[in-house]
Amino acid sequence: MGNRAQYLATMIALASAAFGVIAALAWNSAITDLIKQFLPAGKGILPEFLYAVIITVIGVIVMVNLGKLAERAGEKSIM
């Protein structure tokens, strides 16, 4: 039974990761289209780097805050 549970956990993790990638691609398309509203195509490579920097900063902020939230949740479960 242990192998079956491990197999199921692995399949759930893989499916979650796959749907995460799909969601990320969907958000990428949506955000790219939004950026194009303000920075139309043909403006050179600078808008693409600006987009990459903005998304990276947002990603770092989100990940740091999720890490803090996970720490707090871990502390509460110990008490």
* Domain range summary for the chain, segments of one domain joined by +: 1-38, 41-79
The runs of H, that is alpha helices, within 1-79 are 2-38, 46-78
Distance, in Å, from the CA atom of 46 to the CA atom of 64, rounded to the nearest integer, reads 27
pLDDT at residue 1, as a whole number: 54
Q: Give the pLDDT of residue 41.
A: 65
* Closest listed residue to residue 31, CA positions, set 51, 60, 61: 51
Cβ 40 vs Cβ 51: under 8 Å? no
Other Cβ atoms closer than 10 A to 50 = 14
pLDDT at 79 over 60: no
Per the CB < 8 A criterion, the answer to whether 51 and 35 are in contact is yes
pLDDT tens digit sequence for 21-78 = 999 999 888 988 887 787 766 667 787 788 788 889 998 999 999 899 888 887 776 6
